[in-house]
Amino acid sequence: DEGVKAKVEALIAARAEARAAKNWPEADRIRVQLAELNVEVMDGPTGATWRIKEQA
């Protein structure tokens, strides 16, 4: 769904900004929001990637 994708991309961007500013509590808060959307974030040397977690 494009609406969900746009929301996730916006949260990923906000989290990247928080991490760049070393605002760890904000970055963690955003990661929790993403987890609530069933999104898994993988941090790597070129930035963060994400995927929807598979339903059990």
Give the chain's domain count.
1
Q: How far is CA 51 from CA 3, 24, 48, in A?
A: 15, 22, 10
pTM: 0.84
The model's confidence at residue 2, banded by pLDDT at 50, 70 and 90, is: confident
Query: Is 26 exposed, middle or buried (CB count within 10 Å of its CB: 0-12, 13-18, 19+)?
Result: middle
Compute the distance between CA of residue 13 and CA of residue 7 in angstroms, rounded to an integer.
Answer: 10
DSSP bridge partners of 48: 43
The model's confidence at residue 27, banded by pLDDT at 50, 70 and 90, is: very high
Question: Which residues form the domain of 7?
Answer: 2-52
Check: CB of residue 39 under 8 Å from CB of residue 50. Answer: yes
Q: State mean pLDDT over 33-55.
A: 90
